[in-house]
């Protein structure tokens, strides 16, 4: 992997290693995330996603390699550095927080930062204004996840870690959440996203990396990952004998030939290339 200059990156890690006894959770992971981009880390359970993210967040020590996050080593960075990042973990709130209202929780977290956003502004940004006085235990799963994000962004983070943020969301809630992530990106927030939803990565990420067996096996844009932009296409169309499928490296030429044959409109025409899911499954070698 060709790494950009450190000045251009919010996250730059080379050769990250982590072992748990005899198990190598990370076996030389390289990650480079540019300032202001949305970067998705994809991989099956146990591939090393969480370990990688926790090392970059400063919550887990690495056994080897180097890491610079916002210009500092997360393993040694102090409180001032931590105020520059936001974290939205998977786990739910502790039981004792369930009786707090949304506003109380956001105000409490705002007090941890030197220059926090206005709590009311944050609550509005995540779409919880109507629930500001509701207690946390009264919220739906999607509303709790929005509160998670509110807590992650109230400190005005330069870098936001999102760990499977839309797990359990219904389709409408997921799309609304995507709009929120896009809004954060427009104000320059760098976002590292882990997700099992490949359509989410394709919709949000500027670039994606696939991790498998403790190593990054491919990095690229969602459209180009694994060569999918130039992969063999399947052209399907209807003729007198039913539906025909032709695989070709020159689909535009074939469609032009078919259009001439059929006098313009080609019946039942579709042109497809491998989906992100197809490429992902090939890259991880069938792991789940």
- Tokens representing 126 are 């995540």
- pLDDT for 92 equals 64
Is pLDDT above 90 for 125? no
This prediction has a pTM of 0.83
Is pLDDT above 80 for 117? yes
Is pLDDT above 60 for 237? yes
141 or 258: which carries more pLDDT confidence?
258
Return the closest-CA partner of residue 151 out of 199, 204, 211, 87: 87
How much of the chain, in percent, has pLDDT values that exceed 90? Answer: 60
Across the chain, what does the average pLDDT equal? 89
For the segment 229-242, the average pLDDT, to the nearest whole number, is: 84
- pLDDT for 194 equals 93
For residue range 5-23, what is the model confidence (pLDDT) as tens digits? 567 899 999 999 999 999 9
Q: What is the dihedral of CA 117, 119, 121, 126, to 10 degrees?
A: 100
Contact 157, 84 (CB under 8 A): yes
Is pLDDT above 90 for 131? yes
For residue range 36-88, what is the model confidence (pLDDT) as tens digits? 999 999 999 889 999 999 999 999 999 999 999 999 999 999 999 999 999 99
Is pLDDT above 70 for 287? no
Residue 9 bridge partners (DSSP) = 34
Return the closest-CA partner of residue 283 out of 42, 30, 17: 42
For residue range 195-225, what is the model confidence (pLDDT) as tens digits? 888 999 999 999 999 999 999 999 999 988 8
- pLDDT for 6 equals 60
For the segment 167-178, the average pLDDT, to the nearest whole number, is: 81
Sign, CA dihedral 180-183-185-189, equals negative
Quote the radius of gyration of the chain (alpha carbons, Å).
22
Q: Do the strands 215-220 and 270-272 form a parallel or antiparallel pair, or are they unpaired?
A: unpaired
- pLDDT for 105 equals 95
Confidence of residue 146 (pLDDT cuts 50, 70, 90): confident
Is pLDDT above 60 for 286? no
Contact 138, 149 (CB under 8 A): no
Confidence of residue 4 (pLDDT cuts 50, 70, 90): low
Distance CA 199, CA 178 (A): 11
Q: Three-state DSSP class for 111? A: coil
For residue range 80-109, what is the model confidence (pLDDT) as tens digits? 999 999 999 877 667 778 899 999 999 999
Residue 210 CA neighbour count, 13 Å, CB half: 25
User: What is the separation of C-alpha 164 from the centre of its chain, rounded to a whole number of angstroms?
Assistant: 8
Domain ranges, ordered by start, for the chain: 232-272
């Amino acid at each position: 992997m060709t790494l950009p200059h450190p000045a251009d990156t919010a996250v730059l890690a080379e050769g990250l290693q982590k072992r748990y006894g005899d198990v190598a959770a990370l076996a030389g992971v390289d990650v480079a995330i540019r300032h202001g981009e949305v970067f998705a880390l994809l991989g099956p359970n146990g591939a090393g996603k969480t370990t990688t993210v926790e090392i970059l967040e400063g919550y887990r020590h690495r056994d080897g390699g180097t890491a610079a996050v916002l210009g500092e080593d997360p393993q040694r960075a102090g409180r001032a550095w931590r105020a520059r990042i936001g974290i939205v973990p998977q786990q739910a709130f502790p039981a004792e927080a369930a009786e707090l209202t949304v506003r109380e929780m956001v105000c409490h977290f705002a007090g941890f930062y030197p220059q926090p956003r206005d709590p009311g502004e944050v609550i509005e940004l995540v779409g919880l204004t109507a629930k500001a006085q509701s207690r946390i235990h009264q919220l739906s799963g999607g509303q709790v996840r929005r509160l998670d994000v509110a807590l992650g962004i109230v400190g005005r983070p330069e870098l936001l870690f999102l760990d499977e943020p839309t797990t359990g969301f219904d389709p409408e809630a997921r799309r609304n959440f995507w709009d929120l992530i896009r809004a954060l990106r427009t104000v320059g927030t760098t976002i590292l996203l882990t997700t099992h939803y490949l359509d989410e990565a394709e919709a949000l990420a500027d670039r994606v990396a696939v991790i498998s067996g403790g190593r990054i096996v491919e990095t690229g844009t969602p459209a180009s990952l694994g060569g999918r932009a130039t992969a063999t296409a399947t052209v399907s169309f209807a003729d007198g004998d039913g539906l025909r499928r032709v695989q070709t490296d020159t689909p535009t030429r074939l469609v032009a030939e078919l259009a001439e044959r059929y006098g313009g409109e080609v019946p039942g025409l579709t042109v497809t290339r491998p989906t992100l899911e197809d490429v992902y499954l090939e890259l991880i070698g069938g792991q789940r």
